[in-house]
Amino acid sequence: MEILQVTGSLVCSQRVPGLEHWNLRVLRSPKGKLSVAVDPVGASPGNWVFTASGSAARFACGNPESQIDLTIAGIIDFWEPDG
């Protein structure tokens, strides 16, 4: 799991089967690395979230058959990143 910040949404008009209904979010690590994750929890820009990756990401979204590598598993209510 990693802690990342939501920076915005990603809109794709064409997707592979199994990803048609998922909201996609752009995430940034505290060091500035960008990632894209499936968002089953409804995170908003600015929210800090924790993620599940790899095969755990497919189970976290509720569909182990999906083509997902990163899922937002929860929204953090309070957290202050280190300096």
- Whether residue 30 contacts residue 48, with contact meaning beta carbons closer than 8 Å, is answered with no
22 in a domain, yes or no? yes
State the pTM of this model: 0.86
The token pair at 37 is: 């994750």
d(CA 48, CA 76): 5
Look-up of token digits 């979230």: 49
Domain that holds residue 10: 2-75
d(CA 72, CA 2): 10
Residue 83: its pLDDT value, please? 58
Asked if residue 3 has pLDDT above 90, the reply is: yes
By three-state DSSP, how is residue 72 classified?
Answer: strand
29 in a domain, yes or no? yes
Residue 49: its pLDDT value, please? 96
The token pair at 67 is: 């083509």
Q: What are the tens digits of pLDDT across the range 37-71? A: 999 999 999 999 999 998 888 888 777 778 888 99
**Number of domains the chain contains:** 1
∠50-4-72 over CA atoms, to 5°?
A: 40
The token pair at 15 is: 């997707």
Residue 29: its pLDDT value, please? 93
For range 5-17, the mean pLDDT? 88
20 in a domain, yes or no? yes
